[in-house]
Structure 1
Amino acid sequence: MTIRLRLILSYIAMVLIPIFLTLLTAMVLTRVFFGTEDTSVRGGDGFQFHGHALSEFWEKINEREQLMNGVKFVAEQDPELLADPNFLADTGETLRELQAGLVIVRNGEVTYASADVDQEYLEAELARIDTAQEGHSRWMMSRGPEVGGRYTAERVDFTFDDQGVGTLYLLSDLNPLLGKMSRFMPLMFFSLLVIVAFTNLLLTFFVSRSILRPLYTLKRAAERIKEGELDHPLLMQRKDEFGEVGEAFEEMRERLKHSIHLQLQYEENRKEMLSNISHDLKTPITGIKACVEGLRDRVADTEEKRNKYITMIGQKADDMDRMIEELFLFSKLDLKRLPFDFEPVDVLGFLQSCSEELKADPRFAQVQIELITAVEGPLYAIADRDKLKRVLMNIADNSLHYMNKPDQRLSLELEASPREALVRIRDNGAGIDEAALPKVFERFYRAEASRSSSSGRGGSGLGLAIVRQIIEAHGGIVRADSRAGVGTAISFTLPLQTYSRTGGERK
């Protein structure tokens, strides 16, 4: 459940729960103040209504209303009964028990008044009833003017049989109801305040808890990361926004941990690289110094010896220049600062050209080089020709380091699919150990076999790492396959490009 939905539900609950609890409280207080009984009430028309848990109070109110309706019916249908003393006495007594009363006025004179009616203030009160709006007024009961009551009065005009003018006043005492309501309403209001306060506090507690707990969890995780503890995973196990934040935080932790691990690995690789470069540079420098000392001490006392020493100095300088160039090239590739000049390149023609160039290289004079392919026509890819040539030369140079057999062979193979070209350079050298094979494309990595090869030439450990950087910049992939004692095959792919017949646009 999202935080937004949780907040919306909490707002709805803040409205519905108080309403529900208020209704429940009202029912309980009604039972307490007005009593609870299962009774049956018969209406004035004889129809029986069955009420559940009706109080005695409301039963009296209903009975009083029915009796008053009966008196009004008598006034309309048989007004002479209102002049019968026995009928009036019985009706007045019944109304008195129901906390009501009646007054009969005939031709302007009061002919009957219930026993509870205060005779002293009767005429004034009747005048007030006649002038009051909707027949409501203040009634002073017979207990005295200092003790009053609240009532409702209803006036009914009728005519006696002798055409005398009659007026019926039906009086209903509200004191019992007002007495109960005076206690019911304040308690109900106080209950409403308690319910609203309790509901808001409860919902605020749970909603804030559901928000603060994940915040504290994130805070503790951030403090652990600040202290450098990156091995503790953050497990939110939530499906809301905090869960998404937790997943992003956990991904950040994993990436940071990987980044630090990679940084430490780079640092170790750099240290190893410095050691290797120092070793590899020291070897040709030592050779150059030996040749210079030989020339200085006139050990090379013939022209042939001097030329030999000078040739050795040139070779050692070339080795140093090659290692420095590879280091500089890899640094630019690693920093993404080496520009690429992409253009359409015929892969088949390019391999043919490289094959001829390798055959003419003195270093490969003892190596049998061949191009193997079933591709007949041009096969175009968008590539940087110079960088691609560097790839082939680095792979071929790496293969040369591993060749330790009298019959040395190097094959350039080309395969094609609808989407990419596959180039494979295969040799029959000593091969690479299975444990070292996954690491051959790592920066600064060198298998020991290459350092002790028959050629006597070590590498910087960057040749195949440069190959991977260049091929990945072309959108291809590179891999190595090798069998100890059989040989090694370095393969890479190049995405092919197609051209329309009319314009040569790239598709």
Structure 2
Amino acid sequence: MSIKRRLRLSYIAMTVVPIILVALIAATLGSALFKPADEAGNNRWMPAFWAKSNDRAEAVGGIKFMAEAEPDRFADDAFLKEADTRLNQVDAGLVIMRGDAITFASPMANKISDLRSRLLEGKTNARWSGWDRYTVDKLELKFSDNSTGTAYVLSDRSEMFRSARSFFPLLILSLLVVIGLTNGILTYLVSRSFIKPLYALKFAAEQIKEGNLEHKVVLSRKDEIGELSAAFEDMRVRLNESIRLQLQYEDNRKELISNISHDLKTPITGIQACVEGLRDGIANTEAMKDKYIGMISKKSEEMNRLIDELLLFSKLDLKREPFQLERVDLGAYLRDCVDELRYDPRMDGVALTYSGVLEDQPAPVMVDREKLHRVIMNIVDNSLKYMDKEPREISVRLSVDRTEAKVSIQDNGPGIDNAALPHIFERFYRADPSRQSATGGSGLGLAIVKQIIEGQGGTVSAESLAGQGVNITFALPILTDGGERP
């Protein structure tokens, strides 16, 4: 549930819940303060003061009727006492005035001070002390002897006022308490649903600030805070991965420096030995001098080749080596490369074969011609270094399917152990742990192969069995008829 909907529901609850609770409280107070009219069960729904008010209205109505129909009856003391007795039963009383004199007064009316003067002044609705508890109905009387008089019916409202004076303050107090409790509880529940996850995010931020990127933030919520926590967790994971990669790059950099130092030390040591031999006069003949100079030249070329491969690998690794991609028929390209290799002096005594698609079956790919040539040369060089049995054989095969073209270059050398096979495309990796090999090499050749092939959208892999040679395969996406990769 979203925060917006949750707040909307809480606002509705803050309005509806107090109304329901106040209605229940009002019903409870009414049943407690306003007793039923009939304890036996009649009119149990009607408060006593209400039932008495109805009875009073009927009694007063009878008095009014008699005042209009038989006004002379109001001169009869027996009638007045009987009528007053009935009125007293409903908390009412009768007062009769003829002229300025009171001829009859109910015992209830005698409790009112200055009754005569108040009635004469006509202030029946004024709030006088002891008077505001009564309502007064004034009835004009015209007797048969043409004299006039006035009948006053006094109704005592004190019972209703006593209940009302307790009911309404309690109801208002209950309303305030209900509103306060409802708002307080709902505010606490709603704010708690916000504050608790925010504290969790704050704690996670403090952990990140302290360098602890392993503290996970998992809030199972389907609202805006849940989305925030998911974004925060994604940021933490990415930051952790970024730092991990940075540390890995730092380790790789240290390893690279160590490997470069190791590989450069060997030719430099050889050059120093030759220079010292020439300086100390060990090479005292022209033949010995030519031999030492040749060794210096060979070691210098080895260093130059190592530096060139290192620079190329660094550019490829940092994605700073541009690729001049163009559409190439891979079948025709491989045939040209194989023909060129056959004339290479290093291929003397090596049986080089090629098998692939028919010449009329194109294998269009987008590649950098120069860098793809470097890939093939590096793989062939790697095979030539380690082939140790006759006859020496290298085979190049091309296979094409709907999505990619695969090139496999296989030799019949000693092969590579399964434990070392997954690492041969790593920089400076050599299957010989001592890194001593009569064949030399920079240890970057196959790492460069991997960088170039993957930089052109392809993949590279190797297969080998000990004693049965190595098969290195790289695959490149085939172009569609529209000139795009599938």
Q: Smaller-chain TM-score range?
A: 0.7 to 0.9
2:112 matched to which residue of 1?
Answer: none
TM-score where L is the length of structure 1: 0.78
Cα distance in 2 for residues equivalent to 1:154 and 1:189:
33
C-alpha offsets along residues 223-276 of structure 1, whole Å, 9 cap, x if unaligned?
A: 333333334433434444333333333333333333333333333333332222
The reply on whether 1:468 has 2:447 as its aligned counterpart is no
C-alpha offsets along residues 7-33 of structure 1, whole Å, 9 cap, x if unaligned?
A: 333322222232233223323332332
Report deviation, 1:325: 1.6
1:487 matched to which residue of 2?
Answer: 469
Cα distance in 1 for residues equivalent to 2:301 and 2:377:
16
Which amino acid letter does the alignment assign opposite residue 20 of structure 1? I
1:432 matched to which residue of 2?
Answer: 416
Report deviation, 1:124: 3.0
The reply on whether 1:459 has 2:442 as its aligned counterpart is yes
2:229 matched to which residue of 1?
Answer: 246
Is the Cα–Cα contact under 8 Å of residues 269 and 444 in structure 1 kept in the other structure? Answer: no
Cα distance in 2 for residues equivalent to 1:17 and 1:302:
112
Is the Cα–Cα contact under 8 Å of residues 80 and 161 in structure 1 kept in the other structure? Answer: no
Cα distance in 1 for residues equivalent to 2:2 and 2:152:
66
| Distance change >3 Å, CA 62–CA 336, structure 1 → 2 | farther
Cα distance in 2 for residues equivalent to 1:293 and 1:421:
54
Cα distance in 2 for residues equivalent to 1:481 and 1:162:
142
Residue 149 of structure 1 aligns to a residue in which SS?
coil
2:258 corresponds to which of 275, 280, 295:
275
2:272 matched to which residue of 1?
Answer: 289
Q: CA RMSD in A?
A: 4.0
Is the Cα–Cα contact under 8 Å of residues 451 and 459 in structure 1 kept in the other structure? Answer: no
1:133 matched to which residue of 2?
Answer: none
| Distance change >3 Å, CA 415–CA 40, structure 1 → 2 | farther
Q: How many residues align?
A: 476
TM-score where L is the length of structure 2: 0.81
**1:275-354 matched pairs, under 5 angstroms:** 275-294=258-277, 297=281, 299=283, 301-302=285-286, 308-354=291-337
C-alpha offsets along residues 382-435 of structure 1, whole Å, 9 cap, x if unaligned?
A: 222222222222333333344333233222222222222222222333222222
1:122 corresponds to which of 119, 122, 133:
119
C-alpha offsets along residues 62-87 of structure 1, whole Å, 9 cap, x if unaligned?
A: 44345556667x57xx9536654566
| Distance change >3 Å, CA 410–CA 161, structure 1 → 2 | farther
Cα distance in 2 for residues equivalent to 1:69 and 1:413:
123
C-alpha offsets along residues 266-321 of structure 1, whole Å, 9 cap, x if unaligned?
A: 33333332222222112222333344455553727346x65554444333223222
Residue 121 of structure 1 aligns to a residue in which SS?
helix
| Distance change >3 Å, CA 467–CA 178, structure 1 → 2 | farther
1:7 matched to which residue of 2?
Answer: 7
The reply on whether 1:447 has 2:431 as its aligned counterpart is yes
1:59 corresponds to which of 51, 55, 65:
51
Greater alpha carbon shift after TM alignment, 209-218 vs 241-250: 241-250
Cα distance in 2 for residues equivalent to 1:69 and 1:412:
125
Cα distance in 2 for residues equivalent to 1:186 and 1:385:
97
The answer for unaligned runs of 5 or more in structure 2 is 110-114
The reply on whether 1:358 has 2:341 as its aligned counterpart is yes
Residue 126 of structure 2 aligns to a residue in which SS?
strand
| Distance change >3 Å, CA 220–CA 38, structure 1 → 2 | farther
| Distance change >3 Å, CA 101–CA 374, structure 1 → 2 | farther
Which amino acid letter does the alignment assign opposite residue 97 of structure 1? Q
Residue 413 of structure 2 aligns to a residue in which SS?
coil
| Distance change >3 Å, CA 223–CA 362, structure 1 → 2 | farther
Is the Cα–Cα contact under 8 Å of residues 450 and 459 in structure 1 kept in the other structure? Answer: no
Cα distance in 1 for residues equivalent to 2:143 and 2:325:
122
Cα distance in 1 for residues equivalent to 2:142 and 2:421:
124
The reply on whether 1:414 has 2:398 as its aligned counterpart is yes
**1:177-192 matched pairs, under 5 angstroms:** 177-192=160-175
